[in-house]
Amino acid sequence: MSLLSSASGYTPMLILGNFMFSLNTAAFQELERTTEYRWAEQERFYRDAALQFLGPGVDRISLPGVIYPSYKGGLAQVDKMRRMAGRGVSMTMIDGRGNLYGKWVIESITEKQSNFAFLGAPRKQEFSLSIRRETSAEGNAILDALGVSGAVGAVRGAVGGLIGTVTGGLLP
């Protein structure tokens, strides 16, 4: 990363899918993460209830932020977030330090506009994005980030089909 990109604000704070949160686009002011863990209670005779760990639960992040459209980023930032959410697909999330967080979905977007200029254009847009980790489609996050997991699956399917054809379907 060059000194110029860092100084100009194009260094990402966070990347979700193809949207980059940075000082020049939508800068979030806070990142609040809540991670739940599931425990089941098992009643026992003449003893306190026992707890059994069932595994991880919901993992959510809230990103409240501010956009000054006339300064940086323009008016289309929140609309771009809405279009991404409307596609209904999970997106890879990477923070500005390069840490990969897996697949996430946008659950909700809240927008507040203020300080209006000519023709009702807001000079200030506040937003809050609520995202949730998508765990049902977990695969190899590194391959997903590189966009090769589909290709790997296709190769596995082709090889499996070839083996089945050669052996006459005798192998499991």
Backbone dihedral angles phi then psi of residue 30, each to the nearest 5 degrees: -145, 160
Percent residues over pLDDT 70 in the chain: 73
Whether residue 7 has pLDDT greater than 80: no
Largest pairwise CA distance in the chain: 74
Residue 25 has pLDDT above 90, yes or no: no
DSSP string, 26-58: -EES--EEEEEEEEEEEEETTEEEEEEEEEEEE
Task: Give the model's confidence band at 61: pLDDT under 50 very low, under 70 low, under 90 confident, else very high.
Answer: very high
Q: What is the pLDDT of residue 109?
A: 96
Whether this model's pTM surpasses 0.75: no
pLDDT band at 146 (very low <50, low <70, confident <90, very high): low
What pLDDT does 167 receive? 40
Q: Summarize pLDDT for 147-169 with one digit per residue, the tens.
A: 554 544 444 444 344 334 444 44
Nearest of 81, 80, 39 to residue 57 by alpha carbon: 39
